[in-house]
Amino acid sequence: MEEIILYDPLDMHLHLREGEILKDIIDFTASSFSAAVVMPNLSVPITSTDLALQYKKEILMNAKNKDFIPLMTIYLNDFLDENELKIAYDNGIKILKLYPKGATTNSQNGLDEILTPHTLKLFEIAQDLGFILSIHGESKGFSLDREYEFGKVFVSIAEKFPKLKIIIEHMSDHRSIELLETYENIYATLTLHHITMTLDDVLGSGLKPHHFCKPILKTPKDKEMLLKLALQAHPKVSFGSDSAPHLEKNKLNNNAAAGIFSSPFILCALSGLFEKYDKLENLQDFISNNAKNIYGLDNLPKKAIKLHKEKSWIPTQIKSNQNNIVPLNAGEVLDWNQVL
């Protein structure tokens, strides 16, 4: 029996939601990952330490796997003050998340203008304290150019704050790769969908709302170049699923919610992908070691996840809140299966 063991898998970008949805999805991640960076874009955004600690409690209460560690984040907004940042850091919250206003789900409390005196001051304090700045980097321009156009903001922050680690979240455009290579303090997370799918999967044959996410899936060249980064486990990238569940009714209505739900099958799919390209030896770095280095995660409890070369099935749907959540590639068969 062929077997893979992955040590301390880490998902560095995850949406767990709250309430019923949280209950229904948390163990997909908690049963496979040691820890995950939990995004703060709830309907009431996580803008303070109190809210983050309360949310952390709700996550832990609902996870059956009690060894799972949620790494909490703070939502950067116009009202965040310096003192709150210090309190957050003292309480173990080390990631500051920046959403441009209106860029994605629940980003209405994000920043309309990014480089204001207020945010520059916060970046300076974040740098001094040792925060990591995770950015949803998209402009308000044409969809396929939004990440590229935002590049100048990354450059500006990276140059002004050379000791601040900045993460290009869910990198989707091959033109962003240059930033990783030019600036010592710029890193990236990569999703499964941006390294395996393109815009044609969204609209190439019928409109597929379950494939709609921000940043939008891009060209074959983007996909290929990002896949290459992942397969070589480039030391400046770590895995971040950006698994973002929405109720089916909210994906199918007029305002189709952006977000791809992938947490039920990530490790099985990544194993198949790395095997296909004969790069299984790099999966451990991509799924854990790189993130440990970049985010300074030394003291996580140990977890070993075993996968066997045998068929597994992606669930067709998860029942939640009297509706469904439909995973990416629902119902498909995978070549690897997680065994306990």
Residue from 8, 222, 242, 285 carrying the catalytic annotation: 242
Q: Figure out which of the listed residues 12, 30, 72, 213 binds ligand NCD, where binding follows CB under 6 A.
A: 213
What residues numbered 222-251 form the site for ligand NCD, per CB under 6 A?
242, 244
Least distance from Zn ion to the Cβ atom of residue 39, Å: 5
- Site residues (CB under 5 A) for Zn ion? 242
Closest CB to ligand NCD among residues 56, 194: 194
335 and 311 in contact (C-beta within 8 Å)?
Answer: yes
Least distance from ligand NCD to the Cβ atom of residue 204, Å: 19
66 and 8 in contact (C-beta within 8 Å)?
Answer: no
Q: Figure out which of the listed residues 56, 214, 234, 292 binds ligand NCD, where binding follows CB under 6 A.
A: 214
197 is an interface residue for ligand NCD by CB under 6 A: no
DSSP conformation class of 286 = I
Q: Figure out which of the listed residues 40, 259, 264, 327 binds ligand NCD, where binding follows CB under 6 A.
A: 259
Q: What is the Cα–Cα distance from 306 to 340, expressed in whole angstroms?
A: 7
**Per-residue tokens: 1:** 């029996």
Closest CB to ligand NCD among residues 75, 131: 75
What residues numbered 32-61 form the site for ligand NCD, per CB under 6 A?
41
Which residues, in sequence order, are CB contacts of 164 under 8 Å at separation 6+?
A: 123, 126, 127, 131, 133, 157, 158, 185
Closest CB to ligand NCD among residues 189, 338: 189
104 and 136 in contact (C-beta within 8 Å)?
Answer: yes
φ, ψ of residue 326 to 5 degrees: the values are: -105, 120
Containing 224, the helix (H) or strand (E) segment is helix 220-231
Q: What is the Cα–Cα distance from 283 to 280, expressed in whole angstroms?
A: 5
176 is an interface residue for ligand NCD by CB under 6 A: no
Least distance from ligand NCD to the Cβ atom of residue 134, Å: 10
Active-site residue, 242 included: yes
Q: What is the Cα–Cα distance from 250 to 21, expressed in whole angstroms?
A: 13
Judged by the rule CB under 6 A, the positions of this chain that interact with ligand NCD are 15, 41, 104-105, 136, 213-214, 242, 244, 258-259
Catalytic sites, residue numbers: 242
